[in-house]
Structure 1
Amino acid sequence: MWYLVILSAVIAGGLAVARRRLVIVQVTGPSMLPVYRSGDRVLIRRVAGSRLRRGQVVVFESALEGRWRTGPLSAPKDSKWLIKRVAALPGDPVPPEVTHAVNAPEGALVPEGRLVVIGDGPASADSRNWGYLPADRVLGVVVRRLSPAEGSGVSS
Structure 2
Amino acid sequence: MNTVIWMVAAAAGLALVAGLGRARRRYVVVTVEGASMEPALADGDRVLVRRRRIHQVRRGDIVVLEPPLDPSGPYQPGPPAPDGRRWNIKRAAALPGDPLPAGVAGHDGLERVPAGTMVVFGDNPDSIDSRHRGLFPADHLLGVALRKLGGPAA
Q: 1:20–1:85: structure 2 CA closer, same or farther, 3 Å change rule?
A: same
Identify if the C-alpha distance between structure 1 residues 146 and 113 changes in structure 2 by more than 3 Å, giving closer, same or farther.
same
Shift of the 51–6 alpha-carbon distance from structure 1 to 2, 3 Å rule, reads: same
Report the alpha carbon displacement of residue 90 of structure 1 after superposing the two structures with TM: 0.4
2:131 matches 1:128: yes
Instruction: Give CA-to-partner distance per residue, 1:23-48, whole Å, 9 cap, x none.
Output: 11111111101000001011111112
Aligned runs of 1:100-139 on 2, under 5 Å?
Answer: 101-105=105-109, 108-139=111-142
Task: Identify unmatched segments of 5+ residues in structure 2.
Answer: 74-79
Aligned to 2:88: 82
Q: Which has the larger radius of gyration?
A: 2
The size of the alignment, in residue pairs, is 142
- 8 Å contact 1:59–1:140 — kept in the other structure? yes
Corresponding residue for 1:95? 101
Structure 2 residue identity aligned to 1:102: G
Deviation at residue 144 of structure 1 after TM alignment: 1.0
Runs (5+) with no aligned partner, structure 1: 68-73, 152-156
Q: Contact 2:68 / 2:136 at 8 angstroms: preserved in 1?
A: no
TM-score, structure 2 as length reference: 0.83
- Identity of matched residues, %: 45
Distance 1:33 1:134 in 2: 24
CA contact (8 A) 2:67 2:136 kept: no
RMSD: 2.1
CA contact (8 A) 2:61 2:145 kept: yes
- Tell me, in whole angstroms, the C-alpha distance in 1 between the residues paired with 2:115 and 2:84: 28
Q: 1:76 to 1:23 in 2, by over 3 A?
A: farther
Amino acid at match of 1:132: L
TM-score of the pair, normalised by structure 1? 0.82
Give the letter for the 2:121 counterpart. I
| Larger relative contact order, structure 1 or 2 (CA cutoff 8 Å, min sep 6) | 1
Which amino acid in structure 1 is aligned with residue 94 of structure 2?
A: A
Maintained 8 Å contact 1:50/1:135: no
Once the 2 structures are TM-superposed, how far is the Cα of residue 13 of structure 1 from its aligned partner?
0.7
